[in-house]
Chain A
Amino acid sequence: MTHELHVNRIACRAHGLCAELLPEGIDLDEWGYPIVAAGPVPDELLADARAAVAACPALALRLAGTG
């Protein structure tokens, strides 16, 4: 089972907490909106990814299991 991060672009309000908590997997663009690294989240970053999902004030970040 691998996991991927998905951003709900409509819900996202560019708070930026996700990039603080998961800098390895999330960049911010010049307007403050997240750019998520493509592909599955590496196992060693899963805990940080879950923290980023939980921290999003807009509930715009989701960790989805695939395969």
Chain B
Amino acid sequence: MTTRLDTEGRLLAGNHDPAPLGAAEGLIDAVERAGLRGRGGAGFPTGRKLRAVAAGRGPATVVVNACEGEPVSAKDHALLTRAPHLVLDGAVLAALAVRAHRIVVCVHEGDPLGPALTAVLATRHDPVPVRVRAVPRRYVASEESALVNLINTGDARPTSRPPRPDQRGVGGRATLVSNAETLAQVALIARHGADWFRTAGTAESPGTTLVTIGGAVRDPGVREVALGTPLGQVLEHAGAAADAQAVLVGGIAGAWLPLPAAAAVPLAHRELHEAGAPLGVGALYVLPARACGLAETARIAGFLAGESAAQCGPCMFGLPALADDLTRVVGGDGTVVARLRHRLGVVEGRGACRHPDGAVRVTRSALDVFADDLARHAAGRPCVHIGQARVPLRRRYP
């Protein structure tokens, strides 16, 4: 295994060669051989998605998801600030590979990245028209079917599947919705090939990934890490507090893992999935010793409840109920623990999108990882850390 742990790495260096547009031919094969998986959260195999879109009838659309709606993630912004051409090259190459006739770059309203990307695009001469689209700053608005719905109808709410966007998306045609980092990885594969891509990472989880490290660490920020690197090594590199009690993996709708118990878990797709904390958007938020993971999770659950698109009943009513139950537990009310556990099972898997599932996952993981706190609070001892909000839940730009 190649271990790569630095702040420049492959992606963020910014001194990339021009896009080899000829590499669009055979690109889908190369991406499949490289074993690239999406970096936007779901981790879907990118080659398979490209192939599905390429097989669609009529000219396709490529949607670059640069919203980065996860409050604890900053990696796409770091990438688009330092190496915007790499992302745009990847989008253009993907568009040529799937025979797309347009590219839409989705950025949150009010994000300075929007005007910056528009300026960058004005200096390029891309063979496919590219435009920047502002997206409402709602958590669920950057879910892939919501982006397609926004472009089609102006309504940035998820839609029911089937059809998936890769089958029928923008204008009813096959649409590739890809995260910004994923497309940058595609651009690197086009330049250097699948074998080169696999020189980092493991056979099963090849390549590098961007991670955003925050919380109780000396040196927070975005890093590029070879997949397969042990979680503890990644956190140590950022100067994580030695007595940190847990790490929130994958974003606020990810899952908690206990520290130091989970330090040996490799930062890789299967291993993290098996540990109950999928890689998601690669965010790692370290919780210090003197903080309450349950109180933090109650805040997160409340935030996610407020961010529901309020279309599906189990999400619209279930998420506030979960947040309310957990808040009561933190306040020392043990009578609702059984109801909370029951509701987690009821809500899971019953939305048109995966938003409710994320809220269930982070809440369920908190009940496991902070089982001692849970027992204390359930026995009538309220949390002494109430009001000490730590996990940031809002973006910084105005």
User: Is there an interface contact between B160 and A33, defined as CB atoms closer than 8 Å?
Assistant: no
User: Is there an interface contact between B318 and A9, defined as CB atoms closer than 8 Å?
Assistant: no
Q: Which of A8, A11, A33 contacts B314 (CB 8 A)?
A: A33
Give the interface size bracket for B toward A: 10 to 19
Give the interface size bracket for A toward B: 10 to 19
User: Is there an interface contact between B346 and A9, defined as CB atoms closer than 8 Å?
Assistant: no
Within 8 A of B (CB), among A41-62: none
In the bound complex, how far is the Cα of B343 from the Cα of A31, in angstroms? 11
Does A12 reach chain B (CB closer than 8 Å)?
yes
Residues 6-37 of chain A, each 1 if its beta carbon lies under 8 Å from chain B, else 0: 00111110100000000000000111110100
Task: Give every chain B residue within 8 A of A33 (Cβ-Cβ).
Answer: 312-314, 317, 350
Interface secondary structure of A, over-half rule: loop
B343's closest neighbor in chain A, by CB? Answer: A30
In the bound complex, how far is the Cα of B314 from the Cα of A55, in angstroms? 21
Task: Give every chain A residue within 8 A of B159 (Cβ-Cβ).
Answer: 10
User: Is there an interface contact between A11 and B313, defined as CB atoms closer than 8 Å?
Assistant: no
User: Is there an interface contact between B352 and A10, defined as CB atoms closer than 8 Å?
Assistant: yes
Kindly provide the distance from the CB of B172 to the nearest chain A CB, expressed in whole angstroms: 18
Please, could you name 10 A-B residue pairs with CB atoms under 8 Å apart, sorted by A?
A9-B311, A9-B350, A12-B312, A29-B313, A29-B314, A31-B318, A33-B313, A33-B317, A33-B350, A35-B350
Given A9-B351, A9-B352, A33-B312: 19 more A-B contacts, CB < 8 Å: A8-B160, A8-B352, A9-B160, A9-B312, A9-B313, A9-B315, A9-B350, A10-B158, A10-B311, A11-B160, A12-B312, A29-B313, A29-B314, A31-B313, A31-B317, A31-B318, A32-B313, A33-B350, A35-B350
